[in-house]
Amino acid sequence: MNGQSVTKERTPGERAAKQRATGVQGIRESAATEPTKTMASADPVLEVDGLSVVYESNGQLANAVNDVSFTVNQGQIVGLVGESGSGKSTLAYAIMRLLPANALVADGSVRIMGEDVYRMSDEQLRSTRWKRFSMVFQSALVALNPVLTIEWQFMEMFRIHRPDMSRAEARRHIVGLMELVRIHPDRLKTYPHELSGGMRQRIIIAMAIALDPDLVIMDEPTTALDSVVQRDILLEIRRIQQSRKFSVLFISHDLRLVQFLCHEIGVMYAGRMVESGPTSAIKAAGLHHPYTEGLIAATPTLAKRDRALLQGIGGQPPDLTRLPGGCAFHPRCPIARPVCKSTAPGRVTVGELNMLCHRTGFDE
């Protein structure tokens, strides 16, 4: 999950402004200046290379995602973690090509199984989305139609994406999906509001894997669920992923959940991937990005030997329309030096970790 420094390049806002001035819409043909390094497997399912996304509102540009690069390989679960506003969900919607009208992909590329998502025609996208890559949205209650039964919503999916499948065959497949997520098929006749939060989330997961995609993006799939139900959902995700062999991009603000489920982790702050690497390396003691250290210090544990006073990260995430100079984290960083305020950091490798930080040059 490596990326490149863009210290000397135009900002996403400047690139977007240039695109609008020349009439160019959507994504640029060129990707980042250097190729993204893949992780252990040689079979990438998702390749995000130098992706930048900006929002336009009231004449201002917000740099929501800035030069993000990473790879998800076959059968792998990769997690993205960070505070609200760090760019995680915008990144997910950019991969799905579901960004709102006021958002623009200013730079970079997104490839699913080697195909550039932003070079697909509308028809190609309709035939590919949900079949090759799908998404579990944050709120199952919002994602499901409240006036239609669960069965009708499943059937509609197969009618649109698998028109060759008979109604009886679709019904058998739906029953199998319900059993896979451990919900009795009798619940197909119910409406979303008649189900518990955990059941609705399982239904959404079943819908996301119904067409056997290669990649499932899960955006905060356990939000608003209690701790016991969260654990059950995570165990279900792991069990189903291992049986179906699809890849997962798991997005959360909760570092504990990401560490529990994922093989690799990317830490995002102010639209940048500030640290990435194997979960074991993120969890291990040693040199980390100060923001990652802040997330770790703010994560509670029930292990008696690991009990410590929880420490929050001081300050607030920056306004994306007015990012601070140098490193965006420097106003909140406990070890910031003058160089952090004046110069954007480049990427450095520390063991198995990739970081966007000046820290390795400090005499600590």
pLDDT recorded at residue 229: 83
pLDDT recorded at residue 27: 32
Q: Is the pLDDT of residue 273 over 90?
A: yes
Listing from the earlier edge strand, what are the strands of the sheet with 103-112?
Answer: 60-73, 44-57, 103-112, 115-116
Rounding to the nearest 10 degrees, give the CA dihedral for residues 207, 211, 213, 218. Answer: 0
Q: Is 300 exposed, middle or buried (0-12, 13-18, 19+ CB in 10 A)?
A: exposed
Q: Is 108 left (phi over 0), alpha (psi -120 to 50) or beta?
A: left
pTM: 0.85
CB 128 within 8 A of CB 112: yes
pLDDT tens digits, 294-323? 999 888 765 556 666 778 898 999 999 999
> What's the rounded Cα separation, in Å, for the pair 335 and 124?
49
pLDDT tens digits, 116-127? 999 999 999 998
Q: What amino acid occupies position 231?
A: R
pLDDT mean across residues, the chain: 86
pLDDT tens digits, 153-207? 999 999 999 999 999 999 999 999 999 999 999 999 999 999 998 899 999 999 9
Q: Is the pLDDT of residue 34 over 60?
A: no
| pLDDT over 90 percentage in the chain | 72
Q: Which residues of 181-219 are buried (b: 16+ CB within 10 A; e: fewer)?
A: bebeeebbeeebeebebbbbbbbbbbbbbbbebbbbbbb
The class of domain 2-31+40-132+248-356 in CATH terms is: alpha beta
pLDDT recorded at residue 138: 84
pLDDT recorded at residue 26: 36
Per-residue tokens: 21: 């001035």
Q: What angle do CA 70, 76, 80 make, to 5 degrees?
A: 50
